[in-house]
Amino acid sequence: MYRELGAPTNPHPTMSQLLEDWLELLKLFRPDPDRAKRKRRWFPSVKLLREPDAVIVLALLPGFSAEEIDVQVTATRIYLAGSPSSGDEGLMPRVIPLPFAIDVDRVEAHYREGVLRVVCPSAERERRIDIS
């Protein structure tokens, strides 16, 4: 930056311009004003408990009914999703990888007082077969 000789030194226009630039930059980080009008979505808090013959998945889902929760399982993953009938908040789909393969046919799910409990028995482990 330079100034002509004899020109008055006034830092205020420069500071004003810096402030305008700063405020313009902050607009990039400002929350979307229409966001409150859209449905809010959130990720459930999930905890895995590993037992020798099963994995127990606990998910905190307050405000839902059992009919509003979608649970799908594969041999190595659990998929959680849901949306309450009130329409206030939606549950972001969450894929939970499991530490070992499970027996999909024996999985049980129970929902009580805002906690979803999914019991996933392990699939039969590899075993040595004697040859006769």
Pairwise pLDDT comparison (73 vs 43), residue with the higher score: 73
24-42 tens-digit pLDDT? 777 767 766 665 555 556 6
* Helices assigned H by DSSP within the chain: 12-26
Mean local confidence (pLDDT), 8-15: 63
pLDDT band at 90 (very low <50, low <70, confident <90, very high): low
61-89 tens-digit pLDDT? 888 888 989 999 999 999 988 876 666 56
Tell me the three state secondary structure of residue 7: coil
Q: What is the pLDDT of residue 132?
A: 75
Q: Which CATH number fits domain 38-121: 2.60.40.790, 2.40.110.10, 3.20.20.140, 3.40.920.10?
A: 2.60.40.790
Structure tokens at 97: 């990888």
